[in-house]
Structure 1
Amino acid sequence: MIRNAMTVDVEDYFQVSAFEPYIKRDDWDRLDCRVERNTQRILDLFDQHSVKATFFMLGWVAERYPGLIKRIVESGHELASHGYEHIRVTQQQPDQFRADVMRTKALLEDMGGVPVRGYRAASYSIGAKNLWALEVLQEAGHEYSSSIYPIKHDLYGMPQAPRFPFYPNGDDGLLEVPVTTFTLAKRRFPCGGGGYFRLFPYPIYRWAMRRVNNKDGQPGVFYFHPWEIDPEQPRQTGISAKTRFRHYLNLERMEARLEQLLRDFSWGRMDTVFVDAR
Structure 2
Amino acid sequence: MVLLSFDIEEFDMPFEYDRVISFEEQIRISTEGTLTILDLLKKNNLKATFFCTVTFAKNAAAVIRRIVAEGHELASHGYYHSEFKNEHLLSSRLALEEISGQQVSGYRMARMMPVDEKEIKEAGYIYNSSINPTWLPGRYNNRHISRTWFMQSGVIQLPASVSPLTRFPLFWLSFHNLPLWFYIHLARKTYEKDGYLNIYFHPWEFTDLRNRERFGFPGYVSKNSGRQMIARMDKFMKWINKRNYRNGTITEFIQQVTIE
What is the TM-score of this pair, normalised by structure 1? Answer: 0.83
- Unpaired runs of 5+ residues, structure 2, are none
| Residue identity matched to 1:4 | V
Residues 175-196 of structure 1: CA deviation (Å, up to 9, x unaligned) = 010000112xx422111x3111
The CA RMSD measured in Å over matched residues stands at: 2.2
Q: Residue 197 of structure 2 aligns with which residue?
A: 220
Shift of 1:42: 1.1
Q: Residue 134 of structure 1 aligns with which residue?
A: 117
CA distance in 2, matches of 1:57, 1:32: 12
Matched, 1:273 2:250: no
Cα distance 1:67–1:202, how it changes in 2: closer, same or farther (>3 A)?
A: same
CA distance in 2, matches of 1:113, 1:32: 22
Q: Residue 63 of structure 2 aligns with which residue?
A: 68
Q: Residue 140 of structure 2 aligns with which residue?
A: 156
Cα distance 1:31–1:181, how it changes in 2: closer, same or farther (>3 A)?
A: closer
Q: Residue 258 of structure 1 aligns with which residue?
A: 233
CA distance in 2, matches of 1:104, 1:235: 33
Cα distance 1:32–1:223, how it changes in 2: closer, same or farther (>3 A)?
A: closer
| Residue identity matched to 2:188 | R
Tell me the number of residue pairs that the alignment of Structure 1 and Structure 2 aligns.
Answer: 251
CA distance in 1, matches of 2:39, 2:139: 32
Shift of 1:102: 1.4
Shift of 1:41: 1.6
Q: Decide whether the 8 Å contact of 2:173 with 2:220 is kept in 1.
A: yes
Q: Decide whether the 8 Å contact of 2:149 with 2:158 is kept in 1.
A: yes
Q: Residue 125 of structure 1 aligns with which residue?
A: 113
Cα distance 1:255–1:213, how it changes in 2: closer, same or farther (>3 A)?
A: same
Q: Residue 201 of structure 1 aligns with which residue?
A: 179
Shift of 1:246: 3.2
Q: Residue 37 of structure 2 aligns with which residue?
A: 42
Provide the identity percentage: 28
| Residue identity matched to 2:16 | E
Q: Residue 189 of structure 1 aligns with which residue?
A: 168
| Residue identity matched to 1:254 | M
CA distance in 1, matches of 2:24, 2:206: 21
CA distance in 1, matches of 2:233, 2:78: 25
Cα distance 1:64–1:20, how it changes in 2: closer, same or farther (>3 A)?
A: same
Cα distance 1:264–1:146, how it changes in 2: closer, same or farther (>3 A)?
A: same
Q: 2:155 aligns with which of 174, 186, 192?
A: 174
Q: 2:221 aligns with which of 241, 247, 250?
A: 247
Q: Residue 5 of structure 1 aligns with which residue?
A: 3
Matched, 1:19 2:15: yes
CA distance in 2, matches of 1:246, 1:28: 25
